[in-house]
Structure 1
Amino acid sequence: MSAGLPIALIQTRTPATAAAGLAHIEPLIRQAATEGAKLVLTPEGTNLLEQRRDRRAVAITDEDQDACVIGLRHLAAELGVWLLIGSAIVRSGHAGDDRAANRSLLIDPHGGIVARYDKLHVFDVDLPNGETYRESSTIRPGDAAAVADTPWGRLGLTVCYDVRFPHLFRQLAKAGASMIAVPAAFTVPTGEAHWETLLRARAIETGAFVLAPAQGGTHEDGRKTWGRSTVVSPWGEVIGKLDHDDPGVLHATLDLTAVARARAAVPALTHDRDFAAPR
C-alpha cells in the first residue's frame, strides 16, 4: 500500500436516461483524469435517476446492456483509471421480481468489472416536510457486503442509506477496508441535518477514509438532492468538500498510512466483546 493516492469524486445532477447520464458525467470524469486522479468515484444513480415507476420501467435495462455502464467501462480503459460507478440502476436479474438493483460497480483500468455490490438498505420514509420515499417499491435490496482489492488497499462498498448502519461499516473495516465509498443521492432535509455528521462518524468508527460522491440539485423527476460531496480522513477530518449542489469534480490526495495511525491510536476494531442482549 502506498501513500499519496490522488482521487476524484464526481458530483452530478443525473438525468432520467442512461444515454443522457453518460453524456452528463463523461466530461467530468475526463476532467478528473486529466487533472491527475487515479481512482475516480461517481454517485448513486450514476446512469439515471427516475423515481416515476412507469418511466423507470422503460428506462432500465440489464447491466451489460446499459448505455452508461458500457460507456464508463470503455472510458476507464481509455483513461487508464480505476472507476467506481457509485451505483447504476439496472435490472436485478431475479426471476419473478421486477424491481431494479441499485448496484455499485468497480471498474479496473482495462474496463473490467472487478466487484459488484447491491445496496443492502433501502430508504422508505415519510419526511416531516411532506416528501415520501418508498425505495423498496422499485429497488430489490442486496444480501451481501463487499470489499474489493485495489493497488492501494481494500475498498469497502456501500450506497447512500447504508451510511446509517454502522455495523456494516465495522464489518467492512474488519475485512480490511482502508477506504469506504458512500456514493449517495441524499434528500435535502436529511442531507442538511445529517450528511457530514454521519460521514465523519463512520470514518472515526472504522479508522478508514470515507469517500462520498453525491448527486445534487433538482432532477428531471422532481427530486432534490443535497450535493456536498465529501472526503473524510480516518481521524474524522473533512479533507475535501464541495460546498454546493452543482455538478463538479472534487480532488483529494489520500495518505493511506493515516489508516494504521488512526487504528493504533484508537484500536476499537480489536475491542469487541460478546454480551447479553438487553431485555
Structure 2
Amino acid sequence: MRVAVCQLNARDDRTHNLAVARDLLGRAAAAGATLAVLPEYVDYLGPGAGLPKPEPVDGEFAAFFAEAARDLGIWVHAGSFHEAGPDPDRTFNTSLIFNPAGELVATYRKIHLYDVEIPGRVSYQESRTVAPGDRPVVTEIDGVPTGLSICYDLRFPELYRRLAVEGAKLLVVPAAFMMHTGRDHWEVLLRARAIENQCYVVAAGQIGDHEPGRTCFGRSMIIDPWGTVVAQAPDAVGTVTAELDLERLDEIRNSLPSLANRRLTL
C-alpha cells in the first residue's frame, strides 16, 4: 500500500485552498499512491470573522473531494473541515474519507480540543468555537484497519491505544501544529504513538503563516511501527510518499509482542 501525505498552507481563501489541495492529490496519484492524506482545516485557516458558512457532511466540501477521489481513482482522506455543529456558535472539526468510487466511507469528529494558555506564546480556546466529537473511529482503507484522529488528539495516548486494540494497523493524523510546539513535540509524539501501538502513522500537517499571526510547523511524515521515519516533507507545500509494509508490521508485533503482553490495571 503506497501512501502520500499532502502538506498545505491553507489560508483565508477557501477556493484557493481547495484548488491547491486538488493539485496535491493529483501529484499523489501520479506518484502511485493508494491513499492520500490532507491536513487539518483544508477549507479555511484565518480570522474567525471570515470563516465561510459551515457545511453538513454532504455539502460542497464533501462533493469536491468525492469527485477528486473518483476522478483520480484513489482513497482520499480530506484532512478536516468546519462541519456545521450542534449550535450556531460552534462547528465540528471533521474528517471525511472517500474510497476510489467517491463514496464517503467514514467520518470522524475531533475529540480533544486545543484549550491552552502558554504565557508569552499562545492563548487559544478551541472549545469556544468547536464542539467535541464523542466517538473513536476505526475504518478500513483498502483493506487496512485505520484509526482516525486530528491534531491535538495526538497528545492523548489512550485514544490511540483504543484504536490499536480495536484493530488499527494504520493511524492517521491530519494536523495544523503550531511552530512553537511542533519543533519540540511533533515528531516525538508521532514516533511514540507508532512505537507503543506498533502501527504505521501517517501525519499530514499544515505549513507556513496564516492570519491572525500564526505559523504552522509542517514536517508531514510517515512512520513505521518501529518508530522509524520513512518519509518526511521538506519545509514547503508538496507531497511525499512511502510504501506501507504490512508484513513488517506483523513481524514487529510477533517479535516484540507488547500489544499482546499488555495487562490492564486500575
Give the TM-score normalised by structure 2: 0.95
- Structure 1 residues 12 and 270: CA distance shift in structure 2, 3 A: same
Q: Measure the CA separation in 2 of the matches of 1:241 and 1:267.
A: 27
1:68-217 matched pairs, under 5 angstroms: 68-92=61-85, 94=86, 96=87, 98-217=89-208
1:259 offset after TM fit, Å?
1.6
- Structure 1 residues 274 and 233: CA distance shift in structure 2, 3 A: closer
1:179-258 matched pairs, under 5 angstroms: 179-244=170-235, 246-258=236-248
* Aligned structure 1 segments of 4 or more residues deviating by more than 3 angstroms: none
Q: Measure the CA separation in 2 of the matches of 1:12 and 1:127.
A: 26
1:16-31 matched pairs, under 5 angstroms: 16-31=12-27
Q: Measure the CA separation in 1 of the matches of 2:20 and 2:8.
A: 8
1:10 is paired with a residue of what secondary structure? strand
Q: Measure the CA separation in 2 of the matches of 1:247 and 1:35.
A: 16
The aligned counterpart of 1:46 is 42
Q: 1:61 aligns with which of 52, 55, 72?
A: 55
Q: Measure the CA separation in 1 of the matches of 2:100 and 2:223.
A: 25
Q: Measure the CA separation in 2 of the matches of 1:103 and 1:201.
A: 24
CA contact (8 A) 1:61 1:91 kept: yes
Give the TM-score normalised by structure 1: 0.91
Any idea what the Cα deviations from partners look like across 1:258-278, whole Å, max 9, x if unmatched?
A: 2211212222222333434xx
1:167 offset after TM fit, Å?
0.8
CA contact (8 A) 1:186 1:225 kept: yes
* Aligned alpha-carbon RMSD (Å): 1.5
Any idea what the Cα deviations from partners look like across 1:31-61, whole Å, max 9, x if unmatched?
A: 11012111101001112113x33222x4433
Instruction: Flag structure 2 segments of 5+ consecutive residues without an equivalent.
Output: none
CA contact (8 A) 1:69 1:88 kept: no
1:17 offset after TM fit, Å?
4.0
- Structure 1 residues 272 and 33: CA distance shift in structure 2, 3 A: same
Any idea what the Cα deviations from partners look like across 1:94-126, whole Å, max 9, x if unmatched?
A: 2x4531111011101111110000000000112
1:89 offset after TM fit, Å?
1.5
CA contact (8 A) 1:18 1:48 kept: yes
| Aligned sequence identity (%) | 37
Q: Measure the CA separation in 2 of the matches of 1:164 and 1:131.
A: 17
Any idea what the Cα deviations from partners look like across 1:200-254, whole Å, max 9, x if unmatched?
A: 000000000000000000024432100000111000000001131x211011111
* Greater Cα shift, 14-23 or 163-172: 14-23
2:79 is paired with a residue of what secondary structure? strand
CA contact (8 A) 1:100 1:138 kept: yes
